[in-house]
């Protein structure tokens, strides 16, 4: 990508290129030459910043999750300051999902999670990623007054991830996600904590 934005730090340009490549053609397509071309950097820069393919994939996965967690934490803070109810929170989740285009950038994380299933060296990064999602879900559920939010967080994350995967694969409407979240949270809110 000869027209790469030179103001973006090199390491980040490399990671962005890796996400693009993975989203377009899968993990197997990630080569240093292709990364260098996509990021608009020299081949030596790729190996300077990332000594191994494992390190590159791990950092790419963690970078994506940190950015997602930062964005969703801002939304969680908005939920707390605006004192929204369960319906508003589900609607907000739907708006976020609608804002997530059905594109290669959103396929890449799923590819990385699947790759972590095949490469145990990436499992720690995947576990860290899901822990961040779980913490965020617990925070939002707690703000909504859901009993036992901590225990329900992983289920909520699994539901959202599964429905997003379904949406990516089939083009199903975002309303499915909103409806499922409402069903889950209303059921949990009506049930006393164990």
Q: Is 169 a residue whose pLDDT tops 60?
A: yes
Structure confidence by residue, pLDDT tens digits, 120-133: 888 888 888 888 88
Picking from 98, 107, 99, the residue whose alpha carbon sits closest to that of residue 20 is 107
Structure confidence by residue, pLDDT tens digits, 3-54: 455 557 999 999 999 999 998 999 999 999 999 999 999 999 999 999 998 8
- Tell me the pTM: 0.75
Average pLDDT over residues 67-84: 70
Structure confidence by residue, pLDDT tens digits, 88-120: 766 666 666 555 555 676 788 888 889 889 988
- DSSP helix/strand/coil, 184: helix
């Amino acid at each position: 990508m000869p027209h790469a934005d030179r103001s973006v730090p090199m390491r980040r340009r490399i990671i962005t290129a890796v996400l693009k490549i993975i989203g377009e053609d899968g993990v197997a397509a990630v080569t240093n030459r292709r990364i260098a071309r996509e990021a608009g950097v020299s081949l030596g820069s790729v190996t300077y910043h990332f000594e191994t393919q494992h390190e590159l994939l791990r950092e790419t996965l963690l970078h994506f999750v940190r950015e997602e967690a930062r964005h969703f934490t801002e939304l969680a803070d908005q939920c707390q300051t605006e004192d929204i109810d369960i319906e508003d929170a589900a609607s907000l989740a739907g708006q976020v999902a609608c804002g997530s285009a059905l594109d290669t950038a959103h396929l890449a994380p799923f590819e990385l999670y699947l790759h972590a299933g095949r490469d145990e060296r990436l499992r720690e990064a995947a576990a860290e990623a899901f822990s961040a999602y779980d913490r965020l879900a617990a925070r939002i559920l707690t703000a909504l007054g859901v009993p036992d939010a901590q225990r329900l967080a992983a289920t909520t994350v699994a539901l959202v991830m599964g429905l997003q995967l379904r949406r990516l694969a089939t083009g199903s409407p975002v309303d499915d996600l909103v409806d499922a979240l409402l069903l889950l949270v209303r059921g949990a809110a009506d049930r006393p904590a164990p």
